[in-house]
Structure 1
Amino acid sequence: MEVRYICPTAYDSSVYLVNGKILIDAGMNSDLIIKQLEKYIKLTDIELIVLTHCHYDHTAAAAAIAEKSGAKIGIHKADLEGINDEYLSVAVIFGERAPEVRPTITYEEGDKIDIGNGEYLEVIHTPGHSKGSICLYEPVSKSLFSGDTVFPGGGFGRMDFEGSEPEKMASSIEKLTKLDVKALYSGHGAPTDRDGNNQIMASYRMLKMMMGE
């Protein structure tokens, strides 16, 4: 699996170009992100944009990228409504209107997304940061695209947004501890290509400590 990491500004989510044709999250600044993508591919090579959740910093550029590439857009069914809502998308925090994103594919737990070369991403539903947050696991390279569920260094996503489900976050992260993860590609910050299992376990321990358990 080939992964290109793109993050044009400090406020954009991390954007990952997988196998030259699948985009995981889209960030906010479409002009800058498209310019970065065109260093590696023709924009029309992008077939699918997978959104890890409905928040504005991950989704705002998706419509422009999809329009110029012809790519389909997918999101978990529990976040489909939130993506166009000012509050559930947290667009108001950025002083913006909810993005005009129209996903055409909805995912559920256990779905497999074909990424070419005989590889696939397994959809893991991890509610907490949002109702429809997902992580994506690629078993051959032992890679996890974790959205804003967990971050390297023991971090995890905020649970104080409209639509967050803090009571579900611990079980979501516990689910991730059962995977064999080497590379961790999170929704913010640079990816790490080793020690993914320990990074996830650190996030789980940190959350349990915060919960007083």
Structure 2
Amino acid sequence: MEVRYICPTAYDSSVYLVNGKVLIDAGMNSDLIIKQLEKYIKLTDLELIILTHCHYDHAAAAAVIVEKSGAKVGIHKADLECVNDEYLSVSVLFGEKAPTVKPTVAYEEGDKIDIGNGEYLEVIHTPGHSRGSICLYEPISKSLFSGDTVFPGGSFGRMDFEGSEPEKMVSSIEKLTKLDVKTLYPGHGAPTDRDGNSQIMASYRMLKMMMGE
């Protein structure tokens, strides 16, 4: 699996170009992201944008990228209606209107997304940060695109937004502890290949401690 890491500004989500044709999250700054993408591919080669959840900093640039590429957009079914809501997308916190992208693919737990080269991403529903937050697992390279569910260093996503489900976060991260993860590709910050398993377990322990479990 070939992964290109794109981070246009400190406030955008991390954006990952996978196998030259699938984008995981889209960030906010479409001009900068498109400029980076065009270093690696013709924009019309982009086939799919997968949003790990509905929040503005992950989804705002998707509409312009779709307009220029013709790519489809997928999101978990629980966030399908949330992405265009200014409160559930938290765009109001950025002083902006909700993302205008209209996802056409609705994912569910266990779906397998073909990314070419005989590889696929498995959809893992991890509600907590948002209702429809997902992580994406690629078993050959033992890679996890974790969105805003877990981050390196034992941290995890905020659970105080409208649409957050803090009561589900522990079981969501517990699901991730059962995977064999080498490389962690988080929704913010740079990826790390420093033993993803132990980093996820640290997040799990930290969350349980915070929740008093």
Matches for 1:25-174 after TM superposition, within 5 Å:
25-174=25-174
CA distance in 1, matches of 2:162, 2:192: 30
Letter in 2 for 1:110: G
2:209 equivalent to 1:209: yes
Quote the offset at 1:194 in angstroms.
2.8
CA distance in 1, matches of 2:194, 2:35: 29
TM-score by length of 2: 0.99
Counterpart of 1:20 in structure 2 is 20
Deviations 1:30-69 (A, max 9, x none): 0000000001111111000000000000000001001100
CA distance in 1, matches of 2:99, 2:60: 5
CA distance in 1, matches of 2:46, 2:193: 24
Letter in 2 for 1:115: I
CA distance in 2, matches of 1:169, 1:31: 34
Q: Which structure 1 residue ranges, 4+ long, deviate > 6 Å from structure 2?
A: none
Query: Identity, % of aligned pairs?
Result: 89
CA distance in 1, matches of 2:7, 2:95: 21
Give the unaligned 5+ runs of structure 1: none
SS in 2 for 1:114: strand
Quote the offset at 1:212 in angstroms.
1.4
Counterpart of 1:8 in structure 2 is 8
CA distance in 2, matches of 1:37, 1:193: 23
Letter in 2 for 1:152: P
Letter in 2 for 1:44: T
Quote the offset at 1:134 in angstroms.
0.2
TM-score by length of 1: 0.99
Quote the offset at 1:193 in angstroms.
1.6
SS in 2 for 1:17: strand
SS in 1 for 2:129: coil
Q: How many residues align?
A: 213
Counterpart of 2:194 in structure 1 is 194
Superposed CA RMSD in Å reads 0.4
Quote the offset at 1:89 in angstroms.
0.1
Quote the offset at 1:185 in angstroms.
0.1
Quote the offset at 1:184 in angstroms.
0.2
CA distance in 2, matches of 1:67, 1:114: 22
CA distance in 2, matches of 1:101, 1:70: 12
Q: Which moved more, 1:193-202 or 1:119-128?
A: 193-202
Letter in 2 for 1:31: D
CA distance in 2, matches of 1:137, 1:60: 24
CA distance in 1, matches of 2:133, 2:177: 16
